[in-house]
Amino acid sequence: MLSAARHSALRAVRAQTGPKSQSLFAQSHSSSLARLLSTLAILEQKDGVLNTGSLGAVTAGQKLGGPVHGFVAGKNAKSIAQEAAKVQGLEKVIAAESEAYERGLAENWAPLLVENIKKGGYTHVIAAHSAFGKSILPRVAALLDAQQISDVTSIESEDTFVRPIYAGNAILTVQSTDPIKFLTVRQTAFAPAETEGGSASVEEGVDPKVESQTEWVSESLAKSDRPELASAEKVVSGGRGLKSKEEFERLIPPLADALGAAIGASRAAVDSGFADNSLQVGQTGKNVAPQLYLAVGISGAIQHLAGMKDSKVIACINKDPDAPIFQVADVGLVGDLFERVPELTEKLAR
């Protein structure tokens, strides 16, 4: 439980921010304050390869000013750290090499991060708003008696951050008085830092070697050769309008292939078993902001829009001209998807 004092540490300050606070921030950047800031950016890895999707944390750290250090852990952490050292904007990369951190278990990572944050004296700790970041950072923040600020889309100053609430229907500006600010940042709002051109030093991290009650047993991952949903340039998403898993699989992959797109789905489609859970777009799924988002048989509920409304061009196919998706769509086709999708796929494949 967080104490009342902790709750008061995080205040909504929307009315107080704006051009004035931004100019104060600009001044503080050039002042000694910026030199006192230091950020730890948590970098993700999978099977020894740095996940560039997590490099938005470095970009966010650079916006704060002050040095940004990267943090990697896992069984090949030292070699990943060499790769991460080339990331632009990092001054140092801290590596904790141990099998215990390979699978990203929050129970193992939390004490590890606590020790390294204390040692580095960081004022800000940033992770991507990914499943990994969302799982790990709240534990670390709680262990250091601070509140995490989730899904940050903009950094106004060293203590003031913008984040969506109510499935993106309201935008909150929050100010934190916690001595260490813990942020997860929305990947579509902070471009990944460049992976070449940097020359950070690499340092061994502190390993508390805490005995964990949790053991990684196995994982079952959906394999796909398609572009990764969260970072794809184009996304074709299917909804309940597709009626069945068979129809989803018959119509959506050929259309996605014709466009070179990743596949997404609404929660109704996922809950009905048409598509894998990892493909869900929306408030409780993934956030995407591709150049093109094509919604097929999706009504456009606010929880779905929360995950895709920042897409550059939104297109939709829906038989109901009053479906809410048409209110956000740049291009809409009113029609029966069972006729329109094969027609469109054929034209695109020509």
Q: Is 266 in the site for ligand FAD (CB under 6 A)?
A: yes
Question: Is 42 or 323 the residue whose CB approaches ligand FAD more closely?
Answer: 323
Strand order in the sheet with 292-296: 262-265, 234-238, 292-296, 313-318, 331-334
Cα 295 to Cα 308: distance, rounded to the nearest angstrom: 10
Q: Is 63 in the site for ligand FAD (CB under 6 A)?
A: no
Q: Is 344 in the site for ligand FAD (CB under 6 A)?
A: no
Query: Has 129 been labeled as part of a binding site?
Result: no
Q: Is 264 in the site for ligand FAD (CB under 6 A)?
A: no
What angle, 0 to 180 degrees and rounded to 10, lies between the N-to-C axes of helices 131-143 and 106-120?
A: 60
Query: Has 266 been labeled as part of a binding site?
Result: yes
Part of the chain binding ligand FAD (CB under 6 A), chosen from 35-43, 176-184, 252-260, 319-327: 319-327
Nearest to 269, CA basis, from 257, 289, 285: 285
Least distance between ligand FAD and beta carbon 265 (Å): 7
Part of the chain binding ligand FAD (CB under 6 A), chosen from 69-77, 156-164, 202-210, 276-284: 276-284
Q: Are 236 and 259 in contact (CB under 8 A)?
A: yes
Query: Has 264 been labeled as part of a binding site?
Result: no
Q: Taking CA 340 as the corner, what is the angle to CA 335 and CA 345, rounded to the nearest 5 degrees?
A: 155
Q: Is 337 in the site for ligand FAD (CB under 6 A)?
A: yes
Least distance between ligand FAD and beta carbon 320 (Å): 4
How many Cα atoms within 13 Å fall on the side-chain side of residue 146?
22
Cα 142 to Cα 235: distance, rounded to the nearest angstrom: 36
Q: Are 6 and 82 in contact (CB under 8 A)?
A: no
Query: Has 16 been labeled as part of a binding site?
Result: no
Part of the chain binding ligand FAD (CB under 6 A), chosen from 24-32, 121-129, 244-252, 301-309: 301-309
Question: Is 92 or 304 the residue whose CB approaches ligand FAD more closely?
Answer: 304
Q: Is 285 in the site for ligand FAD (CB under 6 A)?
A: yes
Cα 273 to Cα 279: distance, rounded to the nearest angstrom: 11
Q: Around Cβ 262, how many Cβ atoms within 10 Å? A: 24
Part of the chain binding ligand FAD (CB under 6 A), chosen from 26-34, 58-66, 91-99, 302-310: 302-310
Closest-by-Cβ residue to ligand FAD is 282
Cα 38 to Cα 180: distance, rounded to the nearest angstrom: 10
Question: Is 254 or 285 the residue whose CB approaches ligand FAD more closely?
Answer: 285
Part of the chain binding ligand FAD (CB under 6 A), chosen from 83-91, 196-204, 228-236, 333-341: 333-341
Question: Is 81 or 294 the residue whose CB approaches ligand FAD more closely?
Answer: 294
Strands 154-155 and 160-165 turn out to be: antiparallel
Identify the residue among 108, 123, 280, 345 touching ligand FAD (CB under 6 A): 280
Least distance between ligand FAD and beta carbon 167 (Å): 7
Q: Is 186 in the site for ligand FAD (CB under 6 A)?
A: no
User: How many residues form the binding site for ligand FAD (CB under 6 A)?
Assistant: 28
Strands 170-176 and 10-12 turn out to be: antiparallel
Site for ligand FAD in 203-262 (CB under 6 A): 239-241
Identify the residue among 141, 193, 298, 329 touching ligand FAD (CB under 6 A): 298
Question: Is 98 or 272 the residue whose CB approaches ligand FAD more closely?
Answer: 272
Local structure of 286: helix, strand or coil: strand
Q: How far is CA 288 from the centre of its chain?
A: 9
Structure tokens that stand for 91 in this block: 């001054």
**What contacts 231, CB < 8 A, 6 or more positions away?**
53, 187
Q: Is 304 in the site for ligand FAD (CB under 6 A)?
A: yes
Query: Has 150 been labeled as part of a binding site?
Result: no
Find the length of the chain: 350
The region that residue 104 occupies, defined by phi over 0 for left and psi between -120 and 50 for alpha, beta otherwise, is left
Q: Which residues bind ligand FAD (CB under 6 A)?
A: 239-241, 266-269, 280-285, 297-299, 301, 303-304, 307, 317-320, 323, 336-338
